[in-house]
Each structure stands twice: as structure tokens, then as C-alpha cells.
Amino acid sequence: MDQDIPWWKSGILYQVYPRSFQDSDGDGVGDLRGITGRLPYLKSLGVDAVWLSPVFPSPMDDFGYDISDYTGIAPLFGTLADFDALVAAAHAEDLKIILDLVPNHTSDRHPWFIESRNSRDNPKRDWYIWHDGRGEGAPPNNWLSEFGGSSWEFDVRTGQFYYHAFLRSQPDLNWRNPQVRRAIHEVMRFWLRRGVDGFRVDVMWHLIKDERLRDNPPNPDWRFGQQPYQQLLPIHSTDRPEVHEIVAEMRGVIEEFGDRVLIGEIYLPPEKLVAYYGQGLAGAHLPFNFALIAAPWNAQAIARLVDAYEAALPPGAWPNWVLGNHDRSRIASRVGDGQARVAAMLLLTLRGTPTLYYGDEIGMPQAAIAPDQVRDPWETNLPGLGLGRDGCRTPMRWDASPGAGFSSGAPWLPLGPGLATCNVSAETDLPTSMLNLYRALIALRRAMPELALGDYESVEATGDLLAYQRGHRGTRMLIVLNFGCDPALFDVADRAGDIVLSTFMDRTGEPLKSTLTLRGSEGVVIKLAG
């Protein structure tokens, strides 16, 4: 692989949800020592970087995304010494550690907010977004919380409202205040000095709001039964032009420390997403592209998505792809087991940095959560809309034991169905398992610069078939994916080459003939001759 290529371009990211990866002390909740103990597994899988969802001190109203101390570790997960040991152990295995930075909001129990709400003239009052209402208890404007209801909360003590894009216990910081910016920059430096290799910045597109607090307009496409937040178009509360200055400043902090990465969580369509690369690519290295998570699962839709994204990228920008995360249902349940294998091949052969979500490599399904087991505030605030995220956050299945090898105690969430066969131990021993497909795809990507670094060329999207080529320095790979359940034929034309991997893992070395027959839900990677 080219030595002068940044690691985050040729590498593969792996998201760990710390509560659910490995419990080392039997309390049913995963922790840092547990993650450290599983680093050999991640190394053997072949990934390059581990992204940790938040591990900071927090009341856990939103399971760590409500931070009460940006420079500590929640006792639930361990200590700063445990974190330092994790970073050291990861680096010894040539693995990177990426932290989840949550700069849009804090917990209402963060010392900054406690000071801010103490009085209107407190020095930290302007660290958050406070405003008078507009008469008889009405909030300052019509903005809505993503977790339901108004995004404004009235504070009796000081007689003003504060803004919260999510839970009322998650007040938004005021990024128009230079002191806030400097404080978060120092938080970044604190962790970068401890050796972290970058940040995934939570809700980056939310960071700054309209200075005039104008009402958001109604969404003409919203229908009853959809998420209430979507009733309005959040044009004044998200994706403001000024956000790019903030991202550029964060990138500047990253650049102080050399070979680190800045990733942005941004749920926007490709034509808006790509603006977060910044002027002169001085923004986020990787504005996360979640398009695959929401796309209709068929060849034509995926082809249009890839082509539109590639066309929208600024010159020199590096793409990225995500199939699953802690906020969306599991890929295996979204598309079915067979197509989940096709999805794996798609993710790991498209141009750009792929991000894997823990457990997807063994085909973990979305777990049904009984009403009395629901933990997610999104579901408890808006019941009946299917917004709960608990089902994609269930503990990692290491083996078929009662605690799945995750914990010696009762896991914080139920394990879900299919434990006997869907676990690391069982799949390690099965040559054609999902886990071994992921291992083979990752090994192939690492061995073939065409897949890790090559260009992308669309070949065909006909019926259920999607075909594209990856090329690098005169060598080419052809990928053909069948998004249907029935066999399909691909016209090879004048191409010559051999299959190097099938999602069924049984056609290695098979030469191309004039027509390539793919089984239902099969994908193949072909090394082209010449």
C-alpha cells in the first residue's frame, strides 16, 4: 500500500458501543478494560481504527451523549488510567483510537450549565442559548426537539428559556461565543495529548443556530405518524453557513497534532454533506455519509446514490460509507441475511473509507425490546413510532453461553434471537460464515490497492444487478452484485479475469466466461486480466 497515503484513507473504521462490547467486571455493562481485552479480535478482523461512543462522565440520560465532564471517564467504564492503557494497547497493535466528541450540547449537570442558569448576569450565561419567550409562556420560536416537543425549556429561576435540540437535560452550547469555542478546543487538545487519533464529532450540522432565531417553516411533505420533529424544515436551527468556520477551527486543532482525523456526523443529502469538507478541504476529513442506511435496497437506487455522491465530491475529497451505527436498525434485519452479505461486499469495495458497526460482521440482528426493557429516551419520549435504538445496541455475541461471553452478569439489554449460531465463536469455526466473509473482504481490501485506493467507474445497473470497476495504476477489479433473490446473468463482454471472492465463498479462481451467472443475493469480486 502507498506509504504516503493517510491511514484514514486506506484504513477501515470500526465503531464500538462501549456499553455493549465487553464487560470485564460482571456488572452487565461494557467497559474500557473489556475493550482492551478484545483488541486482539479487532486486530485479527483486520480493521485499522476503533471509534468509541462516549465514555465521559454523564448522568446517562442519553447514555453518554449528555456529558457532565469532557476531560474524565465515567466510573461505569473505568478510569483515565484504564483509558490510557487502552490507547497504549491499541497502538501496540497498530490500531488507532477515535473518540466521540459531543460539542453541540452538555448535560444540564455540567458545571458550565450549572453556572449559566444561576443568574442572568453569570459569566457563563452566554455559554448556552438563553432567550425571553414571546408572551404568556410561549417559547422564543417554533423550533422542535429531535426527541419530541418544543426545543425550549423554561427556567423558573431566571425567567428565560434555554434551547435544547435533544433532551431537556441536554442544553445546547452557544457556539457564537468565542469562549465556548476555545473551551472545546482545549478539550480536544487534552485528549489528543493523551494519544487519541482523532474525533467523530456528534451532530456537527447542529453546531450553530440562526442568530435571529427565526421560526422554521412547515414541511409540506410531513404526514401524521411520522417523526414529529420532521413537521418543520430545520433551516434555521441546523446546517447554518457559519458552521463551516467552526469546523475549520476544529480542523486547525487537529492539524496541530499531525496525523489525526476529524470525522463529522452529518445527516444531510450528498449535495449538502460535501460542503463539510470545507474550503480547500480544510474542514472535516470525513463528513460521514449515511446514505446507504436510508437508501432503498435495490440496484438502481444504490447506483444513483453512488453516482450522485461521487459527482458531488469536491476535487481531492475522499469519500466514505457507513452501513450501520448506534442510531439505526441493524443491516441484517433491514435487508435480510443474504443481502447483508451483498451489503458487506458493497461497503468494502466502494471507493472511500468504510465504517463497520460492531456485530454487523457476524450478522447480528435487530433485537425486539419488550416495553419493560426499553432504555432509549427517544422511544420513551415518543412511544409507538418505532424510534427506539435499543435493538441495535444489544451486547456483542462472543459465544453461545448465557451471557454470550459479554458478561458474567445480567446484560444491560437482552441479547436478542439466534445466539446459538450468531456469535463469534461459532462463526469462526464455519468457513462460509458472515464473519469469515468479512475477514476475507477486509484481507482482500488490504491486499489490493485497487479496492483500498483505486478510482470508481460505474459499469451497469440493470434489473437486480449492480456492477462497477475499481482501478489503480493500470490494474482493475470488477464487482458484480445481485440485489435480487433470483439468479441473474451479467454480460462479461470482452473482459477476462478470475473470480477472487464470492459472497458464498466457493468460486475462488473461477475464470470468467462470456456470461457470468450469479445466484440470488450473490456478489463477486473479479480480478481483471491486463
d(CA 247, CA 257): 16
**Position 345 in a domain:** no
Q: Which ranges in 325-369 belong to alpha helices (H)?
A: 331-335, 337-349
Distances, alpha carbon 321 to alpha carbons 53, 254, 344, in Å: 18, 22, 11
- Strands 515-518 and 488-491, by their bridges, are antiparallel
d(CA 201, CA 191): 14
Q: Which residues lie closer than 8 Å to 493 by C-beta, 6 or more apart?
A: none
Q: Which residue type sits at 76? A: L
**Position 469 in a domain:** no
CB 284 within 8 A of CB 251: yes
Distances, alpha carbon 240 to alpha carbons 171, 172, 178, 236, 275, in Å: 19, 15, 17, 7, 11
Q: Which residue type sits at 169? A: S
Query: Mean pLDDT by 10-residue block, N- to C-terminus, for the chain (530 residues)?
Result: 84 98 98 98 98 98 97 98 98 98 98 98 98 93 96 97 98 98 98 98 98 97 89 98 98 97 96 97 97 95 97 97 96 96 98 98 96 92 89 98 97 95 98 98 97 96 96 96 97 94 96 95 95
Longest dimension (CA), the chain: 78
CB 234 within 8 A of CB 214: no
d(CA 308, CA 104): 29
pLDDT at 1: 56
d(CA 176, CA 412): 39
Specify the residue for cell string 480493521: 47
CB 344 within 8 A of CB 441: yes
CB 482 within 8 A of CB 464: yes
d(CA 58, CA 245): 29
What Rg, from alpha-carbon coordinates, does the chain have? 24
CB 368 within 8 A of CB 377: no
pLDDT at 403: 97
CB 497 within 8 A of CB 511: yes
Treating both helix axes as pointing N-terminal to C-terminal, what angle do 243-255 and 178-193 enclose, rounded to 10 degrees?
Answer: 30
d(CA 49, CA 95): 5
Domain of 217 in residue numbering reads as 105-196+212-261
CB 462 within 8 A of CB 484: no
385, 391, 392, 396: CA torsion to nearest 10: 170
Which CATH number belongs to the domain containing residue 240 in this structure?
3.90.400.10
The total domain count for the chain is 1
Taking the whole predicted model, whether its pTM rises above 0.85 is answered as: yes
pLDDT at 2: 62
d(CA 3, CA 299): 35
Classified as helix, coil or strand, 7 is: helix
**Position 66 in a domain:** no
CB 71 within 8 A of CB 186: no
pLDDT at 384: 81
pLDDT at 482: 98
**Position 501 in a domain:** no
Distances, alpha carbon 417 to alpha carbons 20, 333, 363, 391, 395, in Å: 16, 11, 11, 11, 12
94: left (phi over 0), alpha (psi -120 to 50) or beta: left
d(CA 431, CA 427): 8
CB 487 within 8 A of CB 515: no
CB 115 within 8 A of CB 124: yes
Give the residue among 377, 489, 488, 416 at the shortest CA–CA distance from 149: 377
**Position 45 in a domain:** no
**Position 91 in a domain:** no
**Position 524 in a domain:** no
- Residue 320 cell numbers, joined: 466514505
d(CA 451, CA 442): 10
d(CA 161, CA 120): 11
**Position 131 in a domain:** yes
Question: How many CA atoms does the CB half-sphere of 227 hold within 13 Å?
Answer: 15
Q: Residue 474 burial (CB < 10 Å; 0-12/13-18/19+)?
A: exposed
pLDDT at 418: 94
The catalytic residues are 202, 256
CB 172 within 8 A of CB 181: no
CB 199 within 8 A of CB 98: yes
